[in-house]
Structure 1
Amino acid sequence: MKLANLPFNDRYVNLLATFTLILLFNSNSLFSQNFSNNKPKIEGRIVLDSIWKPKLYLSHISDFSKMYTMSRSMIIAESDVDSSGYFKFNIDYLPKNDNLYRLHISKKGASDASIIIGGKEENHFFIVANKASKIEIFNNNKTFSDVTFKSDVKNKIIDKVDDIVKLIDSTNYSATRVKSEFVTNAFNEQLRKIADTCSYPLVSLYALQKSKYEVDIDNNTGYYQNFIEKWKNEDSEYFKTFKSKVPKRKNAFDSRILIALSILLSFGLGFYINGKIRKRPHKQTLALKTLSVQERKIYALLKAGKSNKEISDDLNIGISTVKSHVSSIYQKLNVKSRKEIINFKD
């Protein structure tokens, strides 16, 4: 039956249904057109209050120390946000390795290069991306920093890390100092566990960065040395900066060699000193050299246990002369009796 032959009410209903189908088809086609292609990109739909400019800015964060600094030179791309909230960045010019980026919006009348840190009007969030990334971002309310990621594991972890940090801040806001310290330590430990189990290098380091690791290095040095060992092949500036802040682990093999060398050196030095002592003339030997030829003969007879009379007869000298020589020998050898002469070391 032709539409013109229908009663007015029926024709109206049919026209309305046809129009609705056409509208839905066009809407779905537009949505499909925006999200269907599989090319590398950062895109999504966001809901914004009227206080914000309908424009997104993508900045490259080359170092973790620059996460909360802002300048126009850091912005590498811009995207308009259309009336449906859709935005898109083509990213085929990005490096092939993961880098850290920041997406932000700015208020109407404010500088494009402005970020708000903390609170409900926080106007930025961070992502990890490379030239092959396919990142879809949505927010379910008008809070720009509260976003979700579709089918993007890396940035879902980043989002989880940021949620933990926000929870730390909100919990500590009204807590006592002691409770705040306990809460912070507990959440930072959770962040370190995420870093430890994460299989994406930069995402893992991002979690560690958010745990404020620099105040924990001295107390937990082994953990950070193990972390460096795990990612020893990572040579990005992010990791170079991190590695420079962690004390290097002493090589166990080198330590063993050093200990062995020290022991050998000690033994060698001991042998050398002992040899020198042995070669050095004994004090008593030096004293013997001060004796005259006649005194040495008498010394030998004294060592043999001869009496003055026997020495006198053997050497054909008077007893008084023998006594005089014996007295001189005692003085030169610093002894007081024949017994000491007998025990005297030649």
Structure 2
Amino acid sequence: MKLKLFIFFLTFTTVISAQYNFSGQIDENNHGKTVYLSVIEDYRKLSRISFDQIIKKTTIDSLGYFSFVGDNLSLTNRIYRIHLDECDALTQNSNHFFGKCENSKSVLFIANNNDTVSFPTSFADQILCEINSTNKKSSAFLEIDIMKEEMAFDFNEFHSVANKRLNSKKWFSNFQSFSLTLNEPLAELYIFDFLSDKRNETYSYYIKDVVDNSYYSQLSKRLQEKYPDEIFTQLYESEIASDKLLHSQNTPQNTSWKWLLGILLGLSIFLNIYLIWQRKTSSQKAKNNALGKLTSQEQKIVDEILNDKTNKEIAADLFISLSTVKTHINNLYKKLNVSSREEIKQLLS
């Protein structure tokens, strides 16, 4: 009986204290700069730094260390990016909008709310290129990137059409076989995003492979089993359906189906717009419901928190005592069912 109670206590304590810790070390030239943490729900934005994906930021300390700690991430795996931004305010938005910013260093990784992940500075002061993690899936993207480099070498060695066809067949098989060993659909989406990119040499082979190869429908099943109802799962299924139809309408005997392709593409666009609208509506509704629970004074304190004011600054701005501020904040935590200022910002910003 005592053993059972001990096991229960240990399990309960672990669940309660579960939190993530993403930390790293940066070379001395970047001390004092800002590091950002983003979550990526749309795999088509994996190669682009986008400010609407950022969920946290921190500053590199005088010893070159940074860290993100909390307990508000998804309990299931998600794709995250940590990036160090050296763009100035004038060039930041335009560079990121077009998906290219040579002044940004970043790393993609897989993690969840229970993981501890570190990014040590490697040889020659290289940063954000090595991952140590409690999650075996975290470094999957780095392994895939190595395969991409090997594939590029193969394609560049001989430029003939025959060589490209043979290399495409070989590397599609290599990537798909490797992805199955990872047992992580998010890593498979990273590979899919690369192989199906219209800008890559691989696209012409992909548009045929998507029809003939059962791998893509099997990936759809794996996504549904592990990540049902997620935006990236729905986006993948929509893309696969559209690409299969696109291949069909490019085949001579199916040219009469062009109208159906237009309908499917239209439905795909409508579905994506609807999903985005639904998400924004739900978020706004939750925000309005939360604000409706608050008194006018509590709403003023929320505004101060959203502006990153300290308790002392809030007390001075509202002409109230520090203890009164603390009491209001404790009431906010209870009413909003949160446990930190960061959660208030996420809920109401």
The TM-score, its normalising length taken from structure 2, stands at: 0.50
The one of 174, 182, 194 aligned to 1:198: 182
Using the TM superposition, name which of 114-123 and 202-211 deviates more.
114-123
Go from structure 1 to structure 2 and tell me whether the alpha carbon gap of 1:117 and 1:180 turns closer, same or farther (over 3 Å shift): farther
Go from structure 1 to structure 2 and tell me whether the alpha carbon gap of 1:150 and 1:230 turns closer, same or farther (over 3 Å shift): closer
Distance 1:199 1:62 in 2: 19
Given that 1:40 and 1:92 are in contact with CA atoms closer than 8 Å, whether structure 2 keeps it comes out as yes
Q: Paired residues, what number?
A: 212
Question: In the TM superposition, what whole-angstrom CA distance separates every residue of 1:294-314 from its partner, at most 9, and x where no partner exists?
Answer: xxxxxxxxxxxxxxxxxxxxx
The structure with the largest helix share of the pair is 2
- SS of the aligned residue for 1:139 comes to coil
Go from structure 1 to structure 2 and tell me whether the alpha carbon gap of 1:219 and 1:119 turns closer, same or farther (over 3 Å shift): farther
The one of 77, 95, 98 aligned to 2:56: 77
The one of 219, 226, 246 aligned to 1:227: 219
Shift of 1:148: 2.9
Q: Does 1:56 align with 2:35?
A: yes
- SS of the aligned residue for 1:209 comes to helix
Given that 1:52 and 1:107 are in contact with CA atoms closer than 8 Å, whether structure 2 keeps it comes out as no
Could you tell me which amino acid in structure 2 is paired with residue 89 of structure 1? F
- SS of the aligned residue for 2:240 comes to coil
The one of 231, 234, 237 aligned to 1:240: 234
Uncovered stretches (5+) of structure 1, i.e. residues with no partner: 1-36, 250-346
Question: In the TM superposition, what whole-angstrom CA distance separates every residue of 1:52-84 from its partner, at most 9, and x where no partner exists?
Answer: 873211122121122233343322111222233
Distance 1:52 1:97 in 2: 33
- SS of the aligned residue for 2:235 comes to helix
Q: Does 1:88 align with 2:67?
A: yes
Could you tell me which amino acid in structure 2 is paired with residue 227 of structure 1? L
Could you say which residue in structure 2 is the equivalent of 1:138?
Answer: 120
Shift of 1:219: 4.5
Seq. identity, %: 17
Could you say which residue in structure 2 is the equivalent of 1:156?
Answer: 139
Distance 1:52 1:175 in 2: 44
After superposing on structure 2, the runs of 4+ consecutive aligned residues of structure 1 that deviate more than 6 Å are 116-122
Uncovered stretches (5+) of structure 2, i.e. residues with no partner: 1-16, 197-202, 245-349
Distance 1:88 1:246 in 2: 38
Go from structure 1 to structure 2 and tell me whether the alpha carbon gap of 1:174 and 1:78 turns closer, same or farther (over 3 Å shift): farther
Go from structure 1 to structure 2 and tell me whether the alpha carbon gap of 1:124 and 1:174 turns closer, same or farther (over 3 Å shift): farther
Could you tell me which amino acid in structure 2 is paired with residue 127 of structure 1? F
Given that 1:189 and 1:211 are in contact with CA atoms closer than 8 Å, whether structure 2 keeps it comes out as no
Given that 1:191 and 1:211 are in contact with CA atoms closer than 8 Å, whether structure 2 keeps it comes out as no
CA RMSD of aligned residues (A): 3.6
Could you say which residue in structure 2 is the equivalent of 1:211?
Answer: 195
Given that 1:194 and 1:204 are in contact with CA atoms closer than 8 Å, whether structure 2 keeps it comes out as no
